[in-house]
């Protein structure tokens, strides 16, 4: 995956470039809004990571210009402004996701990977499959092997989100934002409890667990043994 990081803080940018390389992605860096816009317009990137406050041209204006020129590359906004209205402003300007600083790299990575799949085929499918687990988005039925699994509406949405991003790490914050639509920190490990409940319904009694915990990052649903 090719990433463009538009960030004026040299240290932060170097750290990100290095960290993304370590996990196998290619990352370029632009130090200001103008340079970033130029590089982004040349194309060829899978995801843009844009800081909001940039020299020469601010992040939201970069995104606005890209969208006006019909460049649809997914954009993740990174910003020290993390309140709800800042987030709304960022998303309205054409951002696809918003992450407040300071952040954990695992969170950023998970979100970037989730973004690359967003416009792909998965979003349009009506039935998600992971191993022998099947989720029908239209009839709201979940089947594992031959057994139908009964889920609460919220559990269904949780599983749906996990399966939509099957094979990708999904963080607790992403779940809270996308399944519950809350953007605050619930202080306690509420998500973990929901996951363990879901896990007891879909994995209990089956030889092959599908829902895995990724330590220090979040959860992933995938077929096959944990690597």
Q: Which residues bind other proteins (CB under 8 A)?
A: 82-86, 88, 102, 104, 154, 180, 182-190, 193-194, 196-197, 216
CA distances from 35 to 3, 61, 90, 114 (A): 15, 13, 20, 26
| Cα–Cα distance measured from residue 96 to residue 174, given in angstroms and rounded to the nearest whole number | 13
| Cα–Cα distance measured from residue 90 to residue 175, given in angstroms and rounded to the nearest whole number | 20
Q: How far is the CB of 40 from other proteins (least distance, A)?
A: 28
Task: Decide whether 122 or 154 has the Cβ nearer to other proteins.
Answer: 154
Contact between residue 165 and residue 177 where contact means Cβ atoms under 8 Å apart: no
DSSP 8-state symbol, 3: E
Q: How far is the CB of 144 from other proteins (least distance, A)?
A: 21
Q: How far is the CB of 103 from other proteins (least distance, A)?
A: 9
Task: Decide whether 143 or 190 has the Cβ nearer to other proteins.
Answer: 190
Query: Among candidates 45, 47, 48, 42, which has minimal Cα distance to 7?
Result: 48
Task: Decide whether 32 or 107 has the Cβ nearer to other proteins.
Answer: 107
Task: Decide whether 56 or 183 has the Cβ nearer to other proteins.
Answer: 183
Q: In this structure, are strands 127-130 and 133-136 parallel, antiparallel, or unpaired?
A: antiparallel
Q: How far is the CB of 81 from other proteins (least distance, A)?
A: 10
């Amino acid at each position: 995956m090719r990433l463009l990081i538009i960030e004026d803080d040299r240290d932060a940018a170097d750290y990100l470039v290095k960290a993304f390389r370590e996990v196998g992605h290619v990352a370029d860096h632009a130090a200001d809004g103008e340079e970033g816009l130029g590089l982004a317009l040349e194309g060829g990137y899978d995801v843009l990571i844009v800081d909001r406050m940039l020299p020469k041209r601010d992040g939201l204006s970069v995104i606005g210009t890209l969208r006006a020129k019909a460049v649809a590359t997914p954009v993740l906004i990174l910003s020290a402004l993390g309140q709800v209205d800042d987030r709304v402003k960022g998303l309205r300007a054409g951002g696809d996701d918003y992450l407040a600083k300071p952040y954990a790299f695992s969170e950023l990575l998970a979100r970037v990977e989730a973004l690359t799949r967003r416009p792909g085929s998965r979003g349009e499918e009506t039935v998600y499959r992971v191993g022998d687990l099947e989720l029908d988005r239209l009839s709201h039925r979940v089947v594992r092997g031959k057994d139908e699994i009964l889920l609460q509406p919220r559990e269904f949405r949780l599983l749906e989100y996990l399966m939509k991003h099957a094979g990708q790490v999904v963080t607790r914050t992403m779940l809270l934002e996308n399944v519950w639509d809350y953007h605050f920190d619930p202080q306690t490990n509420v998500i973990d409890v929901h996951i363990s409940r879901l896990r007891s319904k879909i994995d209990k009694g089956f030889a092959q667990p599908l829902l895995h915990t990724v330590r220090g990052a979040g959860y992933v649903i995938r077929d096959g043994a944990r690597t």
